[in-house]
Every structure is written in structure tokens, then in C-alpha cells.
Structure 1
Amino acid sequence: MNKKNYRGYQSYQYLESGVDFKNFELVQETTLFPEYIVPITEDQEARVQNILAENIVISLHEHTFKAPVNLNEFLEFRRWGRDFTGYEGLSRSGLDCVFDNLMNGTAMITSRGGWKWDDILYDLGMRLSDIAHQDMVIMGLTTDDIRRAKQNGQIAFVASIEGASMIENELDRLDILYGFGVRCMGIAYSEGNALGMGLKEKSGGLTEFGKQAVRRMNKLGMAIDVSHSNDQTSLDTIEVSDKPIFITHAGARALWNTNRLKPDDVIKACAAKGGVIAIEAAPHTTITQNHPKHNIESFMEHFEYCVQLVGIDHVSFGPDTLFGDHVAIHKALSEALSLSASKGNMPYEKVEYVEGLENPGDCFPNIVRWLVKHGYSDQDIAKVIGGNTMRVLEEVWCDPKKQGHGPNHK
């Protein structure tokens, strides 16, 4: 396995629980449901472990916090603004880099609506303060940080935000977020904003201000995500951006007709610009007619469809998991997360959990097992578990070593 240098740190252990902050009982980082391991032979398992050890492994979308056991306390828990990172779970995940999207949609320190500027900074700063007190997880600001994390048995944490509502009409807020370490930003969450339309909106695309924001993100070296944007906003963003973009957590609408998944033309446009679509595993998303019960088989059917559509160089994984009862959290937060808009009208078999893809600690070993079992080469597996993402980041992110050589440099 891709071993990590985890020394037992627990979030905010430098403070006194119950004195410095309210104590909530949090879930364990082991699986809450019957563990599922993709069945393979001993020789195949040895190959899986070698692939994880030898290649950079990146999840393009997760929420690596630990949820409270009592979900009736969830909104009160969020009002404290403290996400408790599942360090122990991450230590067995096989990941070298995780794009962590915090809990910005439920950052409700000052507003029940979420997505406010002060709340986002509070959410981000608190999380980074905790990360600064341990040494297994490091900030992922450059591709060199990701490589260094791999070499040193660490995990690069890429601070990401799913929608840009909080910048309002202030372009410079993108610079400020970049300064705070944010390296990936979505255009819109489910609701539209000043930049463009979310998946709730049936019409409309990227606004003129949105075009300015895309260009600013290009200049800053901030990756752009359109996972929750509607189709036209996604297409407009891809066209306006002079760099490849990400669809960090979605799937193919051709296999399951909901707004939460992307139609072929958006996936093709993303790939044509050099971008990557990463397959989503949050409960009741990447279902198919062949596999109406959401599990790793339906998830991988979306993967294979996208590979056939745009090629192995443009597909990866962003499972979008967390440590806790994901289905129950969705029920508790259905309004805040606009889940009704994302499900559409397709009937589906409800599950308690997504078998094989329950939390950030379990996903990638099972994904690699599935790929090995189904005959993918080591080279192609390396691409989809991290190589494709690294290629895009090399083009999109700012490389400090290459700065200072422009026309104004003396």
C-alpha cells in the first residue's frame, strides 16, 4: 500500500474539547457499513499495491471531514466552523493528493443560506489552522508539492471551493482566495450567481462578469470546475478559458438522465480543450439502467462510457465521499445542497451506502482493484488515478520557478 507517515494526530488536539470548542461525538473513520473489497486474486492484489505505491494518486473531489454521529446536531456542528479532518482514514486511502472541498455549502456561521464571504474564509482558515498543526497532510499549492508529498509519505491537500457565489462582483476576491491557498474553484453550485447558471437553471450561461472571472482564474493559475454548472455555462466556460478545465465530480447523462450528470457535448468539449472529467460516487448519482442500484459497478460503467467517448487521457475520479453516513447527511441537508434539483425525475433504487465507495479511505484501492480485474494496463491505470490530473495542473497552475520572465521583467 501507499504508506503514509501518520503519527496519530486528531483534529484540534492542541485545544481542549469542551473548553475551547463544543464537543460533538464524531463518527469513526472505519466503514460504517459492511466492508466491500473488490474480489481479485493474490497476484492481482500485489499488482494493485504496486500501482498505488509507484504512481501519483489524486482524488479530484472529496470532503475529508468526520461527521457527527447525531445528524440532528449537524447544523449546530457546522455553525462552529470546525471541520475535523479524518487523518487516520486518509492514511490508508492510497491518496497522495486530495482536492478537498471543505463544507462551504453549509458554512453557516453568519447565514443560513451559506456561501457568504466571511463564512467561506472562516471555514477555510479554521481548516488550514488544524492542518498546520500536523505533518502528514501538507498544502498542495504546486505540482511540486504533490510530488514531494508522494516522496515523503504525505498527502497534498488542495483547497477547493465548489461555487463562486461568495466573490459577488469582486474579481479581486479570487486573488484573495488564491492567497489563502485555494487552487480550484467552481463557477456555480446548483444555484446561479453573478458568474453563471447552476444546474437548477434550465437556461442562461456564463455572464460577462463570469467571463472576466474565468480569465482572472487563468491568470492566477487557479483550476476551474464546472461540475455543478448548467450545460450552457459549462460550454461557455470551456470556450472562454484559455486553459483546460475540470469536471471534478460528475458522470455521463447518457447513462442516467439527470442534470447532475453531463451530456456528451459538454464532456467532449472539456476533453477537446485538454480537460478531464472525474467520475462522481456520492449516493444516487452515477446510476445506470444496467445497474440501478448505486455501487462500484454503476460508477465504473460511467467511467468506461466516458473513456469510450473521449479517450483514456481525459477521464479520472472524484468520488465525492466523506467519513460518515452520506445518505443520512443528504437527507438532513437536502435543501441546503439543492439535492432535489440534482436528482431529476428518474426513478432509482435507494441505497444506504454506495458499496465499494463509501468513504475517502476506501475508494481508490477498490477503484484500482476494479481496473486490474477488468484488464486495464498499468500505464492506463496510472493515467486515470492521477496522471491525467497532473498533466492538466502542469498547464493550469502557476509555477513560481517560471515567473518573472515576462515582458515587464528587468
Structure 2
Amino acid sequence: MKRKIYDGYRSFHYLAAGLDYKAFPLASQIERLGNYSIPLNERQQKKVERIFEDNIMISLRDHGFVMPLHPEHTLEYCKHGFTSFGYEGLSRSGLDAVFENFMDGIMNISSRMGLKWDDVIWNLGMRYCDIAQQDTVMIASNIFDLYRAKETGRIAIIPSLEAATALENEIDRVDILYGFGIRCMGITYNEANTLGSGLSEARDGGLTNFGRRVVKRMNQLGMVIDISHCGDQTSLDTIEASEKPVLITHAGARGLWNTPRMKPDEVLMSCAEKGGVIGILAAPNTTLTKSSSDHSIESVMEHFEYIVNLVGIDHVGFGPDTFFGDHVALQHAVDAQLSIGQSHSGEEFDESSYVLGLEDPMEAMSNIVKWLVVRGYSDTDIAKVTGGNVMRALSKIWVK
């Protein structure tokens, strides 16, 4: 697996740490927990290398976000804004494109959910400024940029928002966000907003009239609609209202693990019938199963196979939702603000400190492909679920 371009750049190194911004000790981007790897024989290894070489590898949700080394610094680090982006780790991930929300739900957490309009614009501007100083990643605006990233040894970052909460009730803000490079936006994040109900709400009122206007505007502009954090009725309404495929960028199957964060069969099938793609989630303590006592690649892939059997191989991808550092520490730090705990309710489990085999973006797609190869999946099917299905959906969505 070839590494991407990386020249040693670290976030905000054009500024003076301690003078221009507060510096925090950061988690390692490389083998933080020992680099779990699935063993392969020579034939399997060559197949893995060929798959990465010949196909555009896409994560529907991962993060370049680098966590502070010490968990007690988490909230302060997130609030101060000069957060580090893991260019080195991403350069070793094998990924060609990543749907990245730049942690918009976490940054400036002192504002409710970190999703107010000014916060979103500030966060985008700071991250774009940092990205402009390096050559490992590039901002993607269209499908041709994904091919260009692959050809030039870089990673295409697809700017996304976890939710449309920052729109409030201003429809033209969709256009402004598109102008600022946003190419994918969720309808809600766990809690209700002016568009619809999030998955943590006790009652789901479905997509609002304003939400329907937003869906139409996103269709007109060619912006991906994401329903990962929506309530069930809001999800179904959004799929019905959209003229284009709708994506579930990072979720799992409620048929395996009965929590609001997972999607019921009805929503999964409706998404697929509209031409959409479901990205399999691997954030800690989410895609668990009854047969897996610890969260690992095995439980994640159980969700993968369940959904493949339900909707077909042409409508499944991967959105692991990983980043560099202690993900569980972040969940704990922002649980109350972002209703994370409620989204995991409904099942009893012993908390896992990380997902074995899917710790961060550097190892996630690599181990997913290795797992698929060892299980005997064909080159064609692996190419579909690691990027081909997403490219097909984008060819229908990213058109004016």
C-alpha cells in the first residue's frame, strides 16, 4: 500500500506555539495502541495491494482530528480551536477520499452543540487555512477532484457538516455553505432542530416544512444529504422528499444492536431503494452485537454483513468515524452537550476503551480490506464497498 505525499508538516507550524496559540501534548498518530493487523499469506497480501492500487478508497466518515494526550485536557483543547489535523497518519491510511466534518459538533463546545452559524464559519476558515499550508490533503469540490487526488498521491477531503442546525431558519445559508465548500450535510445531530427530529428525541415529528425546503435546495445545488443522526421518521421523510439518493454515512443495524444510534431495517431498505449507500460505523461502543462481548472489527463486520444481506452489496460502504487518540475520552467529555449517551441507550454492555482493529484512520480501511480478503470476498465486491458504491451515488448527487 503506497503512502501519500507527506512533507513533515504539523498543524499551525507557521505560528509560534505558546505565543500565538496554546500548545497541548498530543496523542500519537502512529501505532498508538500497537498497530493491530490481520495476518495474510503472500497471495492475500498481493490482493490487498492490488485493491488499494486500482480503486478509489473512500471513507464516508473519518477524521484527521488529533486528540490531546491527556483526557482531562479534552474540552479545553476543543474550545481553543487550534486543533491538530493528522496529516502524517492520514498519509499512511491508504484512503483517497474522506468525508470530514472537521469535528463541527465538538469545536467551540461552549456554544450549544458547537453548531451555531459563526462557529461553523470560524471552524471552516481555520481548518482551510491550515490545509493551505501543506500538500498531503486537498479540498474536493466535485467528483473529478477525487480522481485527481488519487492520481497525484494526495487525499481528497470532502467538507461536511454533521447537522444543518446552523441554518436556523435561513434557507439561503445552504447556498452560502456550498460556497464555502460544504458538499455533505446531515439533517440533524441527535437532537431536534428546525429541520426535523434527531435520534435521541422521545417523539419524532418527522421532517418539517423548512426541512423539506432544505432537502430541495440541497438537491438543486448537488449537496449530499446525510441522515446518520436523524430519528426514524425524519429519516424516512427525508428519503421520500429527496429527488436524489440519500446517504447514511456512519451507522449500523438496529436488528443486531437495539439502540437509537443504529438504523432499523425499514430505514436501511428505504435508503437503498432510493439509490443511497449505508456507511458502517466503528466509533467505540456503537456497532456492538450480542455475540461480541468487546467492540472489535468482528462486531463491526457483523453489522456490515447483516446490512449487505438486507439491502445488497451495491448499497453498503464504510464510515468508521475514527480519529487519532482516545475516542472514548471525547465521548465522556461531551456526552451531556451532544446527547451521546442517549443515542447508545437500550442495551447493556461493558464499555470498550477502543475498537480492536479499527483504532484510527491509519489502520481502519487497511484492516477492513484485509478482513474482506481473508473472508473470500471478490475484488469486484471489495471495490464496491470501499469506494465504488459511493462514487456511483455521488455521480447522481453531485450534478446540477
Alpha-carbon distance in 1 for matches of 2:304, 2:346: 23
Query: Is contact 1:105–1:336 with CA below 8 Å preserved after alignment?
Result: no
Aligned to 1:407: none
Which stretch of structure 1 is more off in the superposition, 21-30 or 363-372?
Answer: 21-30
Amino acid at match of 1:309: L
Offset of residue 154 of structure 1: 0.4
Aligned to 2:224: 223
Q: Residue 182 of structure 1 aligns to a residue in which SS?
A: coil
Aligned to 2:42: 42
Residue 56 in 1 paired to residue 56 in 2?
Answer: yes
1:78-97 Cα deviation digits (max 9, x unpaired): 22222311000000100000
Aligned to 1:198: 198
Aligned to 1:70: 70
Offset of residue 112 of structure 1: 4.8
Residue 248 in 1 paired to residue 249 in 2?
Answer: yes
Q: Relative to structure 1, is the Cα distance of residues 143 and 235 closer, same or farther in structure 2, using a 3 angstrom cutoff?
A: same
Aligned to 1:162: 162
Residue 363 in 1 paired to residue 364 in 2?
Answer: yes
1:220-260 Cα deviation digits (max 9, x unpaired): 11000000000000000000000001000001000000000
Q: Percent identity?
A: 55
1:185-224 Cα deviation digits (max 9, x unpaired): 0000010000000001132100000000000000111000
Aligned to 2:130: 130
Alpha-carbon distance in 1 for matches of 2:78, 2:329: 16
Aligned to 1:405: none
Alpha-carbon distance in 2 for matches of 1:390, 1:283: 27
Aligned to 1:303: 304
Offset of residue 127 of structure 1: 0.5
Amino acid at match of 1:339: I
Equivalence map 1:202-217=2 (5 Å): 202-217=203-218
Query: Is contact 1:184–1:225 with CA below 8 Å preserved after alignment?
Result: yes
Residue 270 in 1 paired to residue 271 in 2?
Answer: yes
Aligned to 2:324: 323
Alpha-carbon distance in 2 for matches of 1:88, 1:177: 28
Q: Residue 200 of structure 1 aligns to a residue in which SS?
A: coil
Task: Give the TM-score, by structure 1 length.
Answer: 0.95
Alpha-carbon distance in 1 for matches of 2:214, 2:38: 42
Q: Residue 66 of structure 2 aligns to a residue in which SS?
A: coil
Alpha-carbon distance in 2 for matches of 1:182, 1:308: 32
Alpha-carbon distance in 2 for matches of 1:208, 1:31: 48
Task: Give the TM-score, by structure 2 length.
Answer: 0.97
Aligned to 2:376: 375
1:301-353 Cα deviation digits (max 9, x unpaired): 10001110010000000000010011122112211231111111201132121
Alpha-carbon distance in 2 for matches of 1:70, 1:62: 22
Alpha-carbon distance in 2 for matches of 1:190, 1:30: 32
Offset of residue 110 of structure 1: 6.1
* Structure 2 gap ranges (5+): none
Offset of residue 23 of structure 1: 1.1
Offset of residue 34 of structure 1: 3.3
RMSD over aligned Cα, in angstroms?
1.2
Residue 384 in 1 paired to residue 385 in 2?
Answer: yes
Aligned to 1:338: 339
1:339-382 Cα deviation digits (max 9, x unpaired): 11111120113212100000011101100000000010001100
Alignment length (residue pairs): 399
1:45-88 Cα deviation digits (max 9, x unpaired): 12101101110000000121111112222222222222311000
Q: Residue 104 of structure 1 aligns to a residue in which SS?
A: coil
Alpha-carbon distance in 1 for matches of 2:363, 2:276: 26
Q: Residue 337 of structure 2 aligns to a residue in which SS?
A: coil
Offset of residue 113 of structure 1: 4.2
Aligned to 2:31: 31
Q: Residue 60 of structure 2 aligns to a residue in which SS?
A: strand
Alpha-carbon distance in 2 for matches of 1:85, 1:5: 15
Aligned to 1:351: 352
Alpha-carbon distance in 2 for matches of 1:241, 1:261: 22
Query: Is contact 1:101–1:161 with CA below 8 Å preserved after alignment?
Result: yes
Which stretch of structure 1 is more off in the superposition, 274-283 or 198-207?
Answer: 198-207
Alpha-carbon distance in 1 for matches of 2:197, 2:104: 18
Equivalence map 1:3-42=2 (5 Å): 3-42=3-42
Aligned to 1:287: 288
Alpha-carbon distance in 1 for matches of 2:28, 2:289: 31
Q: Relative to structure 1, is the Cα distance of residues 31 and 334 closer, same or farther in structure 2, using a 3 angstrom cutoff?
A: farther
Aligned to 1:403: none
Query: Is contact 2:198–2:204 with CA below 8 Å preserved after alignment?
Result: no
Amino acid at match of 2:249: T
Query: Is contact 2:11–2:84 with CA below 8 Å preserved after alignment?
Result: yes
